[in-house]
Chain A
Amino acid sequence: MIELWRGLQPRARALIVGFFVLLLAAPLVADRYVLSVLTLILYFAFVGQAWNLMMGYAGQLSLGHALYVGLGAYVAALLWVRFGVGPWLGVFAAIAVAMAFGAVVGWLGFRFGVEGVYFALLTIAAAEFTRIAFDNMSFTGGSGGLFMPYEPGRLGQWWNLRGGQLLFYYVALALAAGGVVLAARLSRSRLGYQWLAVREDETAARSLGIDAFRAKMTAVLVSSGMTAVGGVFYAFYYNNLFPGQVFDIQRSIELILGPIVGGLGTVFGPVVGAFVLTPLGEGLIALTARLGIDAPGAKAVFYGLTLIAIIYLRPNGIWPWLARILGLEERTP
């Protein structure tokens, strides 16, 4: 960790610290709407980072990551609503359940040689299957949804994540920052090297003594567990869960846009991606309103066109290109 910090140029260090301080101080100047957008950005920076570990480093394409968000959310929410267990304890159960599902998906894929697109389809199927299952389970509220009760008396109980926008903003900031630190540590660790080797050429990696199955399983477990923490946040932030929303494939797609647009396999890619895409979406809403285009879907059309443009012009993501321009090259491990 210290070695990573020392490896950065002074300019890069200043930028990182400066940016972080800005984010810390944001509530002083930002209104509630801006704070809510920032919270959303930081949430996506966190779950995007979790997905980035599995895809950007270990090279395993998961298109059903909403599965782990949903599982984390539902487990924590159920523990709270039915048993009064707070999120700081509930998160462990959430991580455990998500990891269990991740282990099954990973085992099915890696043990049976399901790779690439086929593995991606496997992850989609797992998420969809779970979505439909939850839709039909009354224990979880079914398709009607699970609601966290509104308890004004609990406001201020930060340990139960009952609070206002400010509380969730700082929790999201902590998560995003923690995600960056975790990615930085892992990427330069032995495990990180093994992941990269497996990603680049699994056969060659195995010939060098790397247990590819174990490396890939570790990636799935870390990624799913980390994503579940995002799910816990989601549950306590939005206070309502519907299987059709939480597990939806559109959520899985949403989650991966940030890291891909920002830069796969880089520590800051998911953060940059989230900071580019979310305001882009919000900005497009404002733009289409300003231009007087009233039709629903107009913003999304521009959004889709932007995606196409980015993946066409900067397939490695915005961050590597930006870093090169600013002279801040992230040393590729």
Chain B
Amino acid sequence: MTWSIYLGVVVQGVLTGLVYGLMALGLSVIFGVVRVVNFAHGEFAVVAMYAAFLLFRSLGLDPLIAFLPIAAAFFVVGFALQATLINAFVGRSEHEQFILLVGVAIVILNGLLMLFGPDAQPANLPYAFDSYAIGPLFIDKVRIYSAVAALAIAAVLFAFFRYTAIGTAIRACADNLTGAAVVGLNVKRLYAVTFGIGLACVGAAGALMVTIADAAPNLGPAYTLLAFIIVIVGGLGSMAGALVGGVLIGVSEALAGFIIQPSMKSMFSFALLIAVLVLRPQGLLGRRA
């Protein structure tokens, strides 16, 4: 029954897509609030992958637990990075921000290259090849666990932005920057917090991703583009949009890779990006600017 194979591919796509969505969520938060074009986003994800890989290899720490300290560490890094370097570039022209973050991306990517070499490093979790049998499908346990973790993190984040004072303040900055400053919000500090949260998402996503993909420095640019595609398709400023976009892209890449050819799987994503940019720039769930 071939439909079960297709269904299996789709389900894999959904689960992987949720982890991609978490990574894109970080970008949506950064891009949507601080309005900085983070072209080093994917490289940060790869750093997290290596961090999780190292923690597993040296301490035996399962990435599904390690993502917590990694996310916390990334929050601190993001906070510091924004407060020191990136803050000077907020409000500057796009090409300047772009060059800054491309510079950061180059440093990160090649730093990783120096430390770990170019070869892909699989984490080799003991249960990496176990799967649950659900009906006619066999679904990898790692994909389910990481997808659940991604959803959990997204839910926590959603609650944070909805119900806490800081979260509301951040949303105010995104909505009306001048107004936020006028009512006395410390915009600079809030930007740093936001960048920290954004990178924490990336850190968590990267750690989760090492359960399903091998860490390699050259994944950086591809993940950056992936994050942008998901954010645009899902809709900037919408957290649900990042997850929905992630799932959509995850499924479409899985299907495209399966039906057409693995090497062509990204083609559909890029075509979708072009279509969204031209026809519906607010994406699926975003607000019209």
Task: Give the B-binding residues of A (Cβ under 8 A).
Answer: 55, 61, 63, 108-109, 112-114, 116-118, 120-122, 124-126, 128-129, 132-133, 135-136, 143, 249-250, 253, 256-257, 260, 264, 295-298, 300-301, 303-308, 311-312, 315
Contact = CB atoms under 8 A, between A and B. Distances in A.
B270 A125 contact: yes
A304 B107 contact: yes
Contacts of A133: 267
A120 B98 contact: yes
B114 interface: yes
Interface residues of B, number: 42
* Main SS class of interface, A: helix
Contacts of A253: 102
A238 B270 CA distance: 29
Nearest to A311: B99
Given A55-B95, A132-B270, 10 more contacts: A112-B277, A118-B232, A129-B267, A129-B270, A264-B95, A296-B113, A297-B109, A297-B112, A304-B103, A304-B106
B221 interface: yes
A264 B264 CA distance: 36
B96 A108 contact: no
Contacts of B232: 118, 121
A297 B278 contact: no
A113 B106 CA distance: 31
A308 B68 CA distance: 30
B111 A297 contact: yes
Contacts of A132: 263-264, 266-267, 270
Nearest to A132: B267
19 contacts: A108-B274, A113-B281, A116-B94, A120-B98, A121-B273, A125-B271, A128-B270, A132-B270, A133-B267, A135-B263, A260-B99, A296-B114, A297-B217, A298-B114, A300-B109, A304-B107, A307-B99, A307-B100, A312-B100
B225 A128 contact: yes
A260 B99 CA distance: 8
Contacts of A112: 277-279
B107 A308 contact: yes
A136 B94 CA distance: 33
A117 B37 contact: yes
B121 interface: no
B113 A295 contact: yes
Contacts of B114: 295-298, 301
B281 A114 contact: yes
Interface in B244-289: 261, 263-264, 266-267, 270-271, 273-274, 277-279, 281
B263 A143 contact: yes
B104 to A, nearest CB: 7
B69 interface: no
Contacts of A136: 261, 263-264
B226 to A, nearest CB: 11
B67 to A, nearest CB: 26
B110 A260 contact: no
A224 B212 CA distance: 40
A256 B225 CA distance: 18
A303 B102 CA distance: 11
A315 B92 contact: yes
Contacts of A249: 221, 225
B14 interface: no
Contacts of B104: 304, 308
Contact of A304 (B88, B96, B105, B229): B105
B75 interface: no
B118 interface: yes
A129 B272 CA distance: 11
Given A114-B278, A132-B266, A308-B104, A257 B221 contact: no
B74 interface: no
Nearest to A315: B96
B46 to A, nearest CB: 13
B99 A257 contact: yes
A296 B118 contact: yes
A120 B96 contact: no
B270 A300 contact: no
Query: Most chain-A Cβ atoms within 10 A of its Cβ — which of B85, B118, B281?
Result: B281
Contacts of B279: 112
B228 interface: yes
A135 B265 CA distance: 12
Contact of A303 (B94, B106, B112, B270): B106
A160 B232 CA distance: 45
Contacts of A260: 95, 99
A315 B110 CA distance: 24
B280 to A, nearest CB: 10
A121 B263 CA distance: 21
A112 B98 CA distance: 23
A126 B278 CA distance: 12
A260 B93 CA distance: 12
B274 A129 contact: yes
A256 B232 CA distance: 24
Contacts of B228: 121
Contacts of B270: 125-126, 128-129, 132
Given A116-B94, A120-B98, A311-B99, A108 B221 contact: no
A117 B94 contact: yes
A256 B277 CA distance: 23
B277 A121 contact: yes
A141 B114 CA distance: 33
B221 A250 contact: yes
A122 B98 CA distance: 15
A329 B266 CA distance: 47
A265 B219 CA distance: 34
B106 A301 contact: yes
